[in-house]
Amino acid sequence: MRIIIYTGKGGVGKTSIAAATAVKMAKQGKRILILSTDAAHSLADAFGVALGPDPVQISEFLWGQEVNSLRECERNWGVVQAWLAKLMDKANLKDITTDEMIVFPGMEELFSLLQIKRHAQSDQFDAIIVDCAPTGETLRLLSYPNVLEWWMEKNTDAIIVNRILPEEASEGFWSHWHQLHRRYEEEITENFSPLPILRVPLMTSEVCGLEMLDQVGELLFKENDPMQIMYEGRSEEIRKVDDGYQLYVDIPFVDKQAIDLTQKGEELTLHVGSYKRKVILPRALMGSTVEGAKFSDGKLSVRFASNK
């Protein structure tokens, strides 16, 4: 079972890319479910068909679904009520209704996870594409380790850069935006290497309907097969050591040379020879100071003193 989660900031085209991926995989004869967990669903608009809270067949091998959290709460109300009974009793809350329960922090994300889990265990589909809400909501979706542990490792196997301006835009009215795009592409390469970076140009018309989604899918993956994991392992890893933390960063194809580290707030800039990379430090390392670093076998190890 391949489960692909698309996330990112709002307005970057996640839904279009997720839908294009689903169309590409369905063309291979795989049974694909694309599922939206965003409360403000736009998946139906992308396909130009009506979707609902249960899977709706879009084409021969493709189904779509827009999760309705209130309906899922009602459907699973007996289980949820029993699970939360003790918690509610401690808070002196009685007779909670489903409408009230849906505003309980994290409930929408939990029901989305339960839907994904149910479909993954059903053997009805070969792959599930999850069109997530903007980043903040997705982080909450991925914050249930006990629920996720059975099916998912928290890693990323590709980065997608969408709506890239063509070279024709390097002159005239769009020239400034073209320069910004190129600069941001360089930053993306620095920040996410060695993850594969897939690129999609700005399309000449609105990405809506199976025909346009098919075009985007072909431009996005080219010879790559979205059914296959594109990057194994993690490009970054943090381990707790006796009196601090150790950050490991994969830096392949670089000879051992002098290491230069620059730390500014939550950002760590790494220089190893001609290689440059920016790392946004996780919460565990906020306020920690770098004690030392070494490079060996394609991996950079950075030691941080404990901030406690």
Where among 159, 188, 221 does a domain terminate? Answer: 221
User: pTM of this prediction?
Assistant: 0.78
pLDDT over 90, % of the chain: 42
DSSP letter at 236 equals: E
58 and 183 together in one domain = yes
Residues 155, 216 within the same domain = yes
Same domain, 213 and 262: no
Q: For residues 182 and 270, state if they share a domain.
A: no
Angle, CA of 238, 264 and 182, to the nearest 5°: 90
Q: In this model, does residue 31 exceed pLDDT 70?
A: yes
50 lies in some domain: yes
Same-domain check for residues 206 and 124: yes
Position 84 in a domain: no
Do 174 and 142 contact (CB within 8 A), yes or no?
Answer: no
User: Which among 225, 218, 185, 224 has a CA at the least distance from the CA of 203?
Assistant: 218
Higher pLDDT residue, 201 or 135?
Answer: 201
**pLDDT (average), residues 191-206:** 91
| Residue 185 in this model has a pLDDT that exceeds 80 | yes
82-103 pLDDT, tens digit each: 666 666 666 565 555 545 554 4
Instruction: Judge if 213 and 264 occupy the same domain.
Output: no
Residue 83 in domain:
no
Q: Assess whether 207 and 252 both reside in one domain.
A: no
Range name among 113-127, 142-156, 199-213, 227-241 with the lowest pLDDT average? 142-156
pLDDT at residue number 146: 46
Q: Which of 170, 188, 221 is the last residue of a domain?
A: 221
Residue 101 lies in a domain: no
| 276 and 131 part of one domain | no
How does residue 151 score in pLDDT terms, banded at 50, 70 and 90?
very low
* Tokens describing residue 215: 């075009």
Our count of domains for the chain comes to 2
Phi-psi region of 68 (alpha: psi -120 to 50; beta: other; left: phi over 0): beta
CATH number, domain containing residue 244:
2.60.40.790
Tokens of 15: 């839904």
pLDDT at 152: 46
C-alpha span between 273 and 255 (Å, rounded): 8
Are residues 22 and 156 part of one domain? yes
Q: Do 42 and 157 lie in a common domain?
A: yes
Crossing angle of the two packed helices 210-221 and 14-27, in degrees rounded to 10: 90
Would you say 33 and 65 are in contact if contact means Cβ atoms under 8 Å apart?
A: yes
Q: Are residues 205 and 263 located together in one domain of the fold?
A: no
Tell me which residue range forms the domain holding 288: 236-305
Given a cut of 80, whether residue 280 has pLDDT beyond it is no
Which of 221, 248, 265 delimits the end of a domain? 221
Q: What is the mean pLDDT of residues 240-262?
A: 78
Within this chain, do residues 192 and 295 fall inside the same structural domain, yes or no?
A: no
Residue 120 domain-assigned (yes or no) = yes
Q: Is 163 inside any structural domain?
A: yes
